[in-house]
Amino acid sequence: MFVRSPCLYLLVLLVIWTRDVNGGARTPFFDLTVYNDWPQFEDYIKGVAHDNPSFVQLKTIGRTREGRPLLGVRIGKPALPGKRKIAVWLDGGNHAREWPAFHVAVYFIEKLVNGYLSDDKITKYVETLDIYVFPVLNPDGFVYSRTSTRAMIRQWRKNRAPENCTGTGPFQTDICCEGVDLNRNYDIGFSHKNYPFNNPCSDEFQGPRPFSEPETRAVRDFIMSSEIYGRLYALVSMHTHGQLWILPYNYQKRTYPQDIKDLEILANRAADRVFAYRETKYRVGTAADMLGTATGGATDWIKKNTPTKYVYVLELPPDMKTWFAFQVKPHWLIPIGKETWLGIEVIFDQVVEETKNFQPTEPTTNGTSADSRSPRFRQL
Ligand SMILES: [Zn+2]
């Protein structure tokens, strides 16, 4: 193509130069000063993979009830031949109304992609790790929550499972209600006696059986797939709100994995780092101990069924004193992204340090149950 105008010519040179100093990385435009709709997320996730094929790969791990793709990216330079990289996972959670968490996940993608080759720390992460980021794990619910300002819809939490008519209310039975709380649908502590999780009209309905929902099955199957099983070392799932750095387990009070001390020490270090930025104070502990038990949680199930060591839920700002504040004013999205990222860096640094002499073995997951697989990370 001929470039006729000198101005345009200079502009082309400038764009080439800018891309060069930035290591060739670029990200599609995504406005983090406002709340975006699902199509913006979808375009962004696909676009960032398309524009950076040398180190960003699009991941579609399944489809929702309504057929939307469950999208994410893998950010990382390809492993050397015959080697497997350590993997880490960040997600924006699965609760429809928790829009800030979805946006903070995009902030993380921005940080990683734009920082590659221009920021030493991030370059090291991209070279050493495979970083999986899934901004929205419940797009159906998210879309629904954006369709109205009516509280019933705007504050929707579940997915869009069709109505189930075994619901109960104070004076009634057999009420029909829609949706399943994806973070109660995993197979951990699941029981038909769990009240109120057994009530389809509850905001926290666990579903008719564990993994009844395509969204939870997709996450489970990907976590157990040969692509990441045995090399996923840390996972952070973001929700809103409460300023809590949540450790496993949460399906029962005072129940912990054997390496809880390691998880707690690292969580405290990360929370201290976040606090140092603008004094956002996180409480560290299990949600079961701090708030009450919640069965069927994604991170509990992952900690119990895989060798993934550092597994956390972050309840982002604001704190618990503000009631029902799932959607902070959007001008807070970038400050929350910045401070949370500082905590994520503490986790990534620990993962890199702890696994530097460690080579994940080839996966041999096919045909074996989770229980029979050896937790490969124990040898560390
Ligand atoms: Zn949540």
Q: What is the DSSP string of 53-120?
A: TTTEEEEEEEE-TTS-EEEEEEESPPPPTT---EEEEEE--S-TT-HHHHHHHHHHHHHHHHHTTTSH
Nearby residues of 65 by Cβ (< 8 Å), 6 or more positions away: 140, 159, 160, 161, 162, 213, 214, 215
Position 22 scores a pLDDT of: 52
The answer to whether residue 243 sits within a structural domain is yes
Whether 104 maps to a domain, the answer reads: yes
Distance 26 CA to ligand 1 centre (A): 31
| Residues near 19 by beta carbon (within 8 Å), at least 6 away in sequence | 25, 26
Tokens of 106: 């995009």
Low-confidence ranges of the chain (pLDDT < 70): 1-24, 361-380
How far, in Å, from the CA of 101 to the mean position of ligand 1? 9
**For position 11, what pLDDT does the model report?**
46
Residue 112: what pLDDT? Answer: 98
Helix (H) or strand (E) holding 42: helix 38-51
Structure tokens at 96: 């429809």
Task: Find the 10 Cα to ligand 1 centroid distance in Å.
Answer: 48
Distance 357 CA to ligand 1 centre (A): 36
How much is the pLDDT for 87?
Answer: 98
DSSP characters for 290-301?
HT----S-HHHH
CA of 241 to the centre of ligand 1 (A): 7
Residue 77 lies in a domain: yes
What's the confidence (pLDDT) of residue 14? 44
182 within 8 A of 215, measured Cβ to Cβ: yes
In 3-state terms, what secondary structure has residue 338?
helix
The answer to whether residue 17 is domain-embedded is: yes
Report the separation in Å between the CA atom of 305 and the middle of ligand 1, taken as the mean of its atom positions: 21
Residues with CB under 5 A from ligand 1 (ion): 95, 98, 239
How many angstroms is it from 240 CA to the middle of ligand 1?
A: 6
Domain of 136, CATH number, reads 3.40.630.10
Please give the pLDDT value at position 124. Answer: 97
Task: Determine whether 345 is an active site residue.
Answer: no
Strand partners, 354: none
Q: What is the pLDDT of residues 359-373, one digit of tens each?
A: 776 665 444 444 334
List 315, 353, 354, 362, catalytic entry = 315
How many angstroms is it from 95 CA to the middle of ligand 1? 5
Query: Residues in the chain, how many?
Result: 380
Query: What tokens were used for 26?
Result: 């670029």
pLDDT at 358: 81
Q: Among 221, 193, 218, which Cα is nearest to 206's?
A: 193
In a domain, 369, yes or no: no
Span from the CA of 220 to the centroid of ligand 1 (angstroms): 18
Range of the domain at 354: 11-146+212-358
Identify the pLDDT of residue 5.
Answer: 56
pLDDT at 287: 97
Please report whether residue 62 resides in a domain: yes
Q: Is residue 20 part of a domain?
A: yes
Q: Residue 238 C-alpha to ligand 1 middle, in angstroms? A: 8
Place of tokens 């709340």: 35
Q: Judge whether 115 lies within some domain.
A: yes
* pLDDT for 323: 76
Cα(292) to centroid(ligand 1), Å? 14
Residue 174 Cα to ligand 1 midpoint, Å, equals 27
Number of domains in the chain: 1
